[in-house]
Amino acid sequence: MASAHFRAMAKPELKILLAAPRGFCAGVVRAIDIVERALEIYGAPVYVRHEIVHNKFVVDDLKSKGAIFVDELDEIPPGDHPVIFSAHGVPKAVPAEAQRRAMFQIDATCPLVTKVHMEAQRHFEQGLEIILIGHKGHPEVIGTMGQLPPGAVSLIETVEDAEAVPVRDPSKLAFVTQTTLSVDDTRDVIVALQKRFPAIKGPTREDICYATTNRQEAVKSIAAGIDALVVVGAPNSSNSKRLVEVGVKSGCPIGLLVQRATDLDWAQLQGLKVMGLSAGASAPEVLVNEIIDAFRAHYEVTVEKVVLREENVSFKLPRELRPAAAPAA
């Protein structure tokens, strides 16, 4: 009788498919390293314009070490403390204003975002009107559009936008894209643009960043065989939201985006047999482990790693932060 009672109380079994690659990309690692290295070399405070990356846990950790996050430059008091620009990039007017104020500025823009900025600048210098595929209001989109004069860039988000966007001269067009979009959705928009404007020029290599592509493909590889997908990431993280969308479109019945284990909706997560778990490019692995631990309280969990491919990309720190930049003792 006692053994039957034990079986009745036993937790149900759950297999968690841990998708890889997931979590931090090279651009995020570089951005966080920039803030931490600046604090080591120059001391606190270090000022950061906007969230260095879209993750509250990461931002709060950097705050505890002496970073101060501001919305605009005029919130920063006079002095020689570093001012860091976020990984998403900023309009040209921001570093110009920092220079006017004689601020010590350090640019943490992801090199892959900088590549898009340079593409847009090159197209503009060639006399082309530029169409940007991206999400209105996203910091990366604001930064990219801010590389050029007002009116030089038209923003579109959907296939319908591509079919309706007004242009001055269909023979003098180019497009660039936000780096953190869904590969599939972007492809559909590009096809619509190319159908309408056969002469439109695109990037020599796809603008969608390698990390975005890898994380989406890893989620696709497990989506059809799972009962639910949990993605660790912030609600304002474009690449994290796209991971959830990709999972659902690829056959997963439930997709949830959570910042922490406390955000898990257990009413939606009952009766699972197999669950997928991934993380956006600005979510640290410690939060992935926190999610797994939370599931252990409800299920008898086994974890299976599903590795689509390995990533070995890294980006150099700015010159100001390399070891030789450290002040002499």
Cis peptide before 21 (omega within 30 of 0): yes
What span, in angstroms and rounded, lies between the C-alpha atoms of 110 and 298? 39
- What distance in Å separates the CA atoms of residue 269 and residue 275, rounded to the nearest whole number? 9
Q: For residues 232 and 241, what is the distance between their CA atoms, to the nearest angstrom?
A: 10
CB atoms within 10 A of CB 227: 16
Cα(146)–Cα(166) distance, integer angstroms: 20
Q: 15-31 as b/e, with b when 16 or more CB fall inside 10 Å?
A: bbbbbbbbbbbbbbbbb
Which residue from 270, 240, 293 is spatially nearest to 19, judged by alpha carbons? Answer: 240
Dihedral, CA atoms, 290, 294, 295, 299, nearest 10 degrees?
A: 140
Positive or negative: CA dihedral 81, 71, 186, 307: positive
- Find all residues with CB under 8 Å of 230, minimum gap 6, and list them: 256, 258, 264, 275, 276, 277, 278, 291
For residue 140, indicate whether it is catalytic: yes
Return the biggest CA–CA distance within the chain: 83
CA distances for 163 relative to 131, 195, 206, 213, angstroms: 12, 9, 21, 25
Rounded to the nearest 10 degrees, the angle between the axes of helix 238-249 and helix 183-196 is 90
Distance CA 261, CA 267 (A): 14
Instruction: State the catalytic residue, choosing from 40, 140, 217, 311.
Output: 140
Provide the annotated active-site residues: 140
